Structure 1
Amino acid sequence: MKNSDENTINIGLIGLGYVGTGVFRLIESQKNYITQKTGKVLRILKVAEKDIAGKAAPLIKTYRDKITFTDNADEIINDREIDIVVELVGGIEPACDYVIRSLNKGKYVVTANKDLIANRGESLFKAAEENNVDILFEASVGGGIPIIGPMKTSLAANNINKIVGIVNGTTNYILTRMRKDELSFEDALKIAQELGFAEKVNPSADIEGSDAACKLAILSSIAFNSRVTFKDVYKEGIKMVTLDDIRFADDLGYTIKLLAIGSNEENSVCVRVHPALVPKDHILSSINYANNAVCLYGNFVGEVMSYGLGAGDRPTASSVVGDVIQVAKNLDRHRKKPVFGCTCFIHKEIKPIEEIDNKFYALVEVKDQPGVLAKIASVFGKNNVSIESMIQKQTTESGSARIVFITHRVLNKNMNKSVREISKLDVVSKVLNIIRVEDLD
């Protein structure tokens, strides 16, 4: 790196989309303020964007006399003047190639790419370590919420034994609208798409839990010091949650949320994303609309929570630029000092979902006749499932009744076996839904 001004940090930005534009505007508008606070001058030297004539064209036209714009990321990766590469193209490829080659060139990397970190994190951290540089990724989880940095710094001395969070704004918005406005899932999703909270073409990554699973894999790897990848995370989405489930949960004192839960056990790690009934008196039940929140449980600090907007160009740009500033403050061109390297020094097995115990909510449609409860209770008892509470709901026009069961804690495999057997009973019309209950004690 040939820049002679020790206090000027040259940045190469790859990707000028929604978040990339936010990062660009934040650095340019806050440049003097950042210098006053840090003593460093952040200088965007080059920007690579495949679609230069697209949505970013007006911004490019405004700054093209001051900054080099290109459609070729290699011009950034191979430029010896660039200190930090900010990768914001998203997805796994070609982003992984860009990041690996940047690290191999001795450049620091900042990214908001959750898919990349959750799926290829091990190889990225290895490349960073081999080249004595860092890769920072605060914005990959929670948008503008500071959570990764605190886990690596102020909470670093704690053994974190549990993570519980709402880390997907789309599903939280949908579930909030279903509860507050008594909307069906389909209607709430349509509104979320119209407002830009959900993808219009294919919202599956959000509503099926994949987005949250990537974020949980990242958080768990850091918190538990053991590598967790996207494929390790058990996931269920919210498509099967109905307005009836929302209402019945409310009657029972619960709110339904899509939770990301990581547990650090003695010899294993349990990581899961699924809808859950959360007690109304727990703080996570009050996290509404597109907001996110993550609770961490440390052996010394106790329970701490980070809360805020989990997506959007401005919150995400804030975290990205925060990482850039962190690198700039620690960057020594004569002797690099990586401080945020991989912390996965323990190998733990992933505990299968079948071996985890939960309380469950079960909604069953039955024939309105004597002996129904006895038959269902017999199946539950045979499979070591005990009932905590039960309420019978309205009788339908077809003569069926609906019964809501809340179980005590039971192994997932025992509950699943019970559901299969109950669905075959002659007195049961249908098992309408099964949702886990998280008391979060």
Structure 2
Amino acid sequence: MINVAVMGHGTVGSGVVEVLLKNHDSIAKKAGEEINIKYVLDLREFPDSPLHDRFVKDFSIIEKDPAVKVVVECMGGLHPAYDFVKACLLAGKSVATSNKELVAEKGAELLRIAKDKNVNFLFEASVGGGIPIIRPLNQCLAANEVYEIAGILNGTTNFILSKMIHEQMSFDDALALAQKLGYAERDPSADIEGADACRKICILASLAFGKHVYPNQVHTEGITKITLEDVEYASNYGGVVKLLGRVKKLDDGRLSVMVSPAIVERSGQLAGVEDVFNAILVRGDAIGDVVFYGRGAGKLPTASAVVADVIDCAKHVNRRKLLFWEDKAEGYIADYLEVPTRFYVRLSAQKPMETLAAIREEFGEVQRLSRPGAPDDELAFVTGEGPEGELRSKLDVLKKQGAQVLGMIRLCDY
């Protein structure tokens, strides 16, 4: 019998308990041993829970009990989750977590401790909720030289953009609807400003390329500046706007890592991902493009991924799974301004024809875009490819001539 402790009885934690109890017999067969929930750590009381007598408020009870071999962390945030997880690993207990912030900020350190203690630190649910991606990336695609990953990693922002694209709903109205339906938090900043997607692409980049990528190394933009005008121009160009987290290995060995809105062509593999669904595209030299698709959050989908890690931990007591990356290296992440890109640009100008001539002088031939009902002083175009810093410098020249940049979105081929 493998004794397990669950830390946190919120949405995901209660889902883990539910799945472990409901599928007890089949899980035992898959794990090779019975999985017993010995403790549930939470400061609240749950008198109606079938495990009400196993709730504890003191973490040290779990830490000091040698019978507990696997700990599930579903508390969220960095503190006290980081301190508790670190203590469990140091005590020789394997840990399964759904906590993307913890893995993105402390993954290298916790994986090193797990290696030193011959235990496991697993986090399948930290990216994509119930979508399998960590295990396939680490095992099934191990024969590939992965050189690029791009994903719609946040369901809230994808829902908002879907409403803007298909129902011409304003950003504010789409956000309000997402909150009403429970897809967005009361404070949605982590979603709409890109922080959630940033943490997830950090985890994928660290795993795929072997060195830790920290959130503060990643240029991150959210969707708060996207307007219906931008969505309409993107549509007339033949694309849709998505919030993408992406990492690419450059020719010099450095990584380009970014979270930002992007226009992807309708024929692309990520363009048709709608509503709250997530999709992660992995490009490898042998396999080509592979896309992992599904619901990226939710109580039971996320709990499903956590319990899969619990089963793995139970099958690998006193044995490590080969999941590891080194800490960061200096100069490993390229400055985003050095990386070649293409831009959609929307601007206003008091003298449009003069500004159009200036655009062509700075950028050469550009693809001009149109939309019905556009004001006379509005210009929109797509640039050729060049280092982002150079493209921005050319826009600065236009600004000095009186043009006002209203919108900029990168173009991507996913």
Residue 224 (structure 2) aligns with:
239
C-alpha separation in 2, matches of 1:80 and 1:433? 58
- Tell me the CA shift for residue 217 of structure 1: 0.4
Change in 2 beyond 3 A, CA 1:314/1:362: same
**2:14 counterpart of 1:24:** no
Change in 2 beyond 3 A, CA 1:346/1:203: closer
CA contact (8 A) 2:31 2:312 kept: no
Change in 2 beyond 3 A, CA 1:310/1:434: same
Unmatched runs of 5 consecutive residues or more in structure 2: none
* Greater CA drift, 366-375 or 250-259: 366-375
AA aligned opposite 2:193: E
AA aligned opposite 1:391: L
Change in 2 beyond 3 A, CA 1:395/1:173: closer
- Aligned residue pairs total 412
Map 1:217-366 → 2, pairs under 5 A: 217-265=202-250, 266-331=252-317, 336-344=318-326, 347=329, 349-366=332-349
Aligned-partner SS, 1:350: coil
Map 1:200-211 → 2, pairs under 5 A: 200=186, 202-211=187-196
- Tell me the CA shift for residue 319 of structure 1: 0.3
Aligned-partner SS, 2:140: coil
Tell me which of 401, 407, 414 is aligned to 1:433: 407
C-alpha separation in 1, matches of 2:352 and 2:15? 62
Percent identity (aligned): 36
Residue 38 (structure 2) aligns with:
45
Aligned-partner SS, 1:273: strand
Larger radius of gyration: 1
- Tell me the CA shift for residue 368 of structure 1: 5.3
Aligned-partner SS, 1:304: strand
CA contact (8 A) 1:254 1:279 kept: yes
What's the RMSD between the two structures over aligned residues?
1.6
CA contact (8 A) 2:263 2:409 kept: yes
C-alpha separation in 2, matches of 1:97 and 1:38? 28
Residue 189 (structure 1) aligns with:
175
CA contact (8 A) 2:138 2:323 kept: no
**2:125 counterpart of 1:139:** yes
Unmatched runs of 5 consecutive residues or more in structure 1: 1-7
Residue 83 (structure 1) aligns with:
69
- After the TM superposition, list the runs of 4 or more consecutive aligned residues in structure 1 that deviate by more than 3 angstroms: 343-348, 385-388, 392-397
Map 1:64-75 → 2, pairs under 5 A: 64-65=52-53, 68-75=54-61
Aligned-partner SS, 2:2: strand
AA aligned opposite 2:86: I
C-alpha separation in 2, matches of 1:155 and 1:280? 27
TM-score by structure 2 length? Answer: 0.96
- Tell me the CA shift for residue 199 of structure 1: 0.8
- Tell me the CA shift for residue 153 of structure 1: 1.1
Residue 424 (structure 1) aligns with:
400
Change in 2 beyond 3 A, CA 1:245/1:75: same
Aligned-partner SS, 1:423: helix
AA aligned opposite 2:406: L
Query: After superposition, what is the alpha-carbon deviation per residue over 1:196-239, rounded to whole angstroms, capped at 9, x for unaligned?
Result: 11111x11110000000000000000101122111111100000
Aligned-partner SS, 2:136: helix
TM-score by structure 1 length? Answer: 0.90
Residue 388 (structure 2) aligns with:
412
CA contact (8 A) 1:255 1:277 kept: yes
Q: Which has the higher contact order (CA 8 A, sep 6+)?
A: 2
Residue 110 (structure 1) aligns with:
96
Query: After superposition, what is the alpha-carbon deviation per residue over 1:404-423, rounded to whole angstroms, capped at 9, x for unaligned?
Result: 11011111101211222212
CA contact (8 A) 1:185 1:241 kept: yes
Aligned-partner SS, 2:166: helix
AA aligned opposite 1:340: L
AA aligned opposite 2:337: E
Aligned-partner SS, 2:400: coil
Residue 3 (structure 1) aligns with:
none
Residue 5 (structure 1) aligns with:
none
Aligned-partner SS, 2:291: strand
C-alpha separation in 2, matches of 1:319 and 1:31? 15
C-alpha separation in 1, matches of 2:327 and 2:97? 23
CA contact (8 A) 2:108 2:325 kept: no
* Greater CA drift, 90-99 or 265-274: 265-274
- Tell me the CA shift for residue 394 of structure 1: 5.5
Residue 4 (structure 1) aligns with:
none
C-alpha separation in 1, matches of 2:225 and 2:393? 19
Change in 2 beyond 3 A, CA 1:156/1:396: closer
Tell me which of 368, 372, 391 is aligned to 1:390: 368
Residue 15 (structure 1) aligns with:
8
Aligned-partner SS, 2:280: strand
CA contact (8 A) 1:394 1:401 kept: no
- Tell me the CA shift for residue 88 of structure 1: 0.8
C-alpha separation in 2, matches of 1:151 and 1:126? 20
Query: After superposition, what is the alpha-carbon deviation per residue over 1:129-185, rounded to whole angstroms, capped at 9, x for unaligned?
Result: 111111000000000000001111111222110001100111001000111111010
- Tell me the CA shift for residue 189 of structure 1: 0.4
Query: After superposition, what is the alpha-carbon deviation per residue over 1:99-127, rounded to whole angstroms, capped at 9, x for unaligned?
Result: 11000100000001110110111211121
- Tell me the CA shift for residue 395 of structure 1: 6.5
AA aligned opposite 2:382: I
